[in-house]
Amino acid sequence: MSTAPEKLSESDSPLDLSAIRADFPILDQTVQDKALCYLDNAATAQKPRQVIDAVAEYYRRDNANIHRGVHTLAERATAAYESARERMADFINASATEELIFLRGTTEAINLVAQSWARPRLEPGDEILVTELDHHSNIVPWQLVCEQTGATLRAVEVNERGELDLESFEALISRRPRLFAVGHVSNALGTINPVKHLVERAHAFGVPVLVDGAQATPHMAVDVQALGCDFYAFSGHKMYGPTGIGALWSRKELLTEMPPCQGGGEMIKMVSIERSVWNDVPHKFEAGTPNIAGAIGLAAAADYMESIGLDAIGDWEHRLLEHATRRLSETPGVTLIGTAEQKAAVVSFVVDGVHPHDLGTILDSEGVAIRAGHHCAMPLMEKLGLPATARASMAFYNTLEEIDTLADALVRARELLA
Amino acid sequence: MDLKDLYHEIIVDHNRRPRNFRRIENPTRVSEGYNPLCGDKLKLYVVEKDGVIEDVAFEGSGCAISMASASLLTERLKGKPAEEAETLFGQMHDLLTGKGEDIDTEALGKLAALEGVKAYPSRVKCATLCWHTLHAALQGEDLATTE
Ligand SMILES: Cc1ncc(COP(=O)(O)O)c(C=O)c1O
């Protein structure tokens, strides 16, 4: 238990935490008779009332199919969907609204780039470069396209702190792979990769870069123009928005060149049995009726985050990370996994004598929700020589007291099993 | 729910000091089990002669439930007819999935300590992994998963 009795007052927070927590109805409940302590935000974040209401309001008042009705509801729904696009393009500072494609999430976005951009370009002997830190959804789509084309997948190594090994990166990028795909923030360890630098180096070799931003948009202001990348993918549900909605951003020239991946309504201008004429970007990639309510909810999540302030969110999450790092490293038997200098509010750890899955069950009995497992990053776990870790991932609505609850529960887990 | 029902003292003990946790050099049967959900991995070695399990041992890593379950399995089956393994597998499966009203838990002995798992559906596969693996070994298959 903590020896240095630092004052754990929430008044230290730049945020009005009790007002913020009141916006998240789900946080106010007990689990197994204990107050819920939700520390599994990297899996999915909770949703504020503002998001839930935006979705409900849409279904209550505006629901209609978009882009093809002339009646009032269709016009309202279309306007709401397209203004959500504008909102999200602005959120990541895209230079044009039509550069943002609404998809199901990061996974679908990466698969789209793999199949529509990479597949026609790849030949046997070509390489695609990823990293050992990446999530399966930024590895497997590339494996598939490599199998389809005879190209080879390579991965930048990570060091023992869980950072990308820049020498390994230099060696591999100088081989001029056809594309470099890299996570902005690691979901398993929290490492924030130096994306801007990586993009500069990749471009120096003429290599385009896709960034998996699933774990970045919840925690920091993202500016795709400043990053300089060519593709950016993210998911709504990780950033306090609904599930089933996310986006791919890319530059208009690239998107215009890419053939669509799925055919259907919405993505065409004209269809005859002989041939069809594709619709313009972004509609070309949005075949079928999209997740209209999801897009509207996602825009509401972006509004909510900005109303709190992305800098304030970052500052408070950094405090949470520091506190969690200190409390967990002081807890006997706990070893932190991933000690990168630049980290988001994620702590991965193992506990001597207690398997991560037992930990997950034991912590649940204390109301504490964490994740245990390989975090969809089996190559990373293999590299670290661990079958699994436990992971606590924080959001701006978490408190220092919740981290204390976690640390105290770890002590009890060891008493029980170790 | 009381955690002590899940982490019964027998389970805690067998997790801390797994019995028959070793490799057998010349097994007549061997099979590997993998639970993709938890990453539990184990390798089960069996020496079967004239329908009797003369020796059984395991290696691997996993959560307390999977380790203790495998340890209890080896302790229980050493020297027993192979047929008994199949009967026990069925009984354990019913016990862990809550269909065990008719089971004589007294006859199960220490294996009954795993009963608490039935209140934790996500953990049932941890407890059954070693049984699936033994079943595969006795059938002459070299791989078992809980999927
Ligand atoms: C780093 C990273 N990339 C990609 C994904 C996949 O996101 P989704 O499941 O929303 O498509 C996740 C989520 O688990 C993630 O953490």
Q: Ligand 1, residues A111, A131, A135, A219: which to mutate, most atoms within 8 A of Cβ?
A: A135
Closest Cα in chain A to B119: A361
Per-residue pLDDT reduced to its tens digit, A218-245: 999 999 999 999 999 999 999 999 999 9
Residue B109 is which amino acid?
G
Please provide residue B33's backbone torsions phi and psi, each rounded to the nearest 5 degrees. Answer: -120, 145
Q: Tokens 């279309």, residue?
A: A78
* Spatial contact of A2 and A323, defined as CB atoms under 8 Å apart: no
Q: How many angstroms separate the alpha carbon of residue A214 from the centre of ligand 1?
A: 5
Please tell me if residue B1 touches chain A, with a CB cutoff of 8 Å: yes
Q: How many angstroms separate the alpha carbon of residue A259 from the centre of ligand 1?
A: 24
Angle (CA) B106-B109-B114 rounded to 5° is 105
CATH class of the domain defined by B3-139: alpha beta
Listed by start position, the domains of chain B span: 3-139
DSSP helix/strand/coil, A393 = strand
Q: Report CB contact under 8 Å: B3, A416.
A: yes
Q: Ligand 1: which atom is nearest the Cα of residue A106?
A: 11
Closest CA of chain A from B67, distance in Å: 10
Q: Report CB contact under 8 Å: A357, B12.
A: no
pLDDT at res. A1: 41
Closest Cα in chain B to A374: B39
Task: Give the orientation angle of helix A72-91 with respect to helix A292-308, to 10 degrees.
Answer: 40
CA separation for the pair A396, A310 (Å, rounded):
10
Residue A220 is which amino acid?
M
Please tell me if residue B61 touches chain A, with a CB cutoff of 8 Å: yes
Max intra-chain CA distance, chain A: 76
Q: What is the pLDDT along chain A (418 residues), one digit of tens a residue?
A: 444 444 445 556 789 999 999 999 999 999 989 999 999 999 999 999 999 999 999 999 999 999 888 899 999 999 999 999 999 999 999 999 999 999 999 999 999 999 999 999 999 999 999 999 999 999 999 999 999 999 999 999 999 999 999 999 999 999 999 999 999 999 999 999 999 999 999 999 999 999 999 999 999 999 999 999 999 999 999 999 999 999 999 999 999 999 998 988 888 888 889 888 889 999 999 999 999 999 999 999 999 999 999 999 999 999 999 999 999 999 999 999 999 999 999 999 999 999 999 999 999 999 999 999 889 998 999 999 998 999 999 999 999 999 999 999 999 999 999 8
User: Which residues of A are marked as active site?
Assistant: 376
Per-residue pLDDT reduced to its tens digit, B46-74: 999 999 999 999 999 999 999 999 999 99
Per-residue pLDDT reduced to its tens digit, B97-146: 888 778 888 889 999 999 999 999 989 999 999 999 999 998 887 777 66
Alpha helices by DSSP H, A119-243: 140-149, 166-173, 195-204, 224-227
In terms of Cβ atoms closer than 10 Å to its own Cβ (0-12, 13-18, 19+), residue A252 is middle
CA separation for the pair A14, A5 (Å, rounded):
21
Q: Report CB contact under 8 Å: B37, A373.
A: yes
Q: Report CB contact under 8 Å: A358, B1.
A: no
Q: Report CB contact under 8 Å: B38, A361.
A: no
Considering only CB atoms, which chain B residues are within 8 Å of A362? 3, 7
- Give the residue-averaged pLDDT of B22-43: 90
Per-residue pLDDT reduced to its tens digit, A364-391: 999 999 999 889 998 999 999 998 999 9
CA separation for the pair A217, A105 (Å, rounded):
12
Residue B96 has pLDDT above 60, yes or no: yes
Query: How distant, in Å, are the alpha carbons of A90, A162, A411 from that of A55?
Result: 20, 38, 41
Q: How many angstroms separate the alpha carbon of residue A290 from the centre of ligand 1?
A: 20
Closest Cα in chain B to A415: B12
Task: Give the orientation angle of helix A400-417 with respect to helix B9-16, to 10 degrees.
Answer: 80
* Spatial contact of B29 and B2, defined as CB atoms under 8 Å apart: no
Please tell me if residue B124 touches chain A, with a CB cutoff of 8 Å: no
Q: Is the pTM of this model over 0.90?
A: yes
Q: In this structure, is the dihedral angle defined by the CA atoms of residues B51, B53, B59 and B63, taken in order, positive or negative?
A: positive
Please report, in angstroms and rounded to a whole number, the separation of the first and last CA atoms in chain A: 17
CA separation for the pair A198, A206 (Å, rounded):
12
Structure tokens at A346: 């994620």
In terms of Cβ atoms closer than 10 Å to its own Cβ (0-12, 13-18, 19+), residue A341 is exposed
pLDDT band at B147 (very low <50, low <70, confident <90, very high): low
What lies within 8 Å, CB to CB, of A77 at 6+ separation is A58, A62, A63, A64, A65, A66, A69, A292
Select from B3, B11, B117, B125 the residue whose CB has the most chain A CBs within 10 Å, as the one to mutate to test that interface.
B3
Q: How many angstroms separate the alpha carbon of residue A68 from the centre of ligand 1?
A: 32
DSSP helix/strand/coil, A347 = strand
Query: How distant, in Å, are the alpha carbons of A118, A383, B43, B60 from that of A379?
Result: 23, 6, 22, 19
Q: Report CB contact under 8 Å: B126, A357.
A: yes
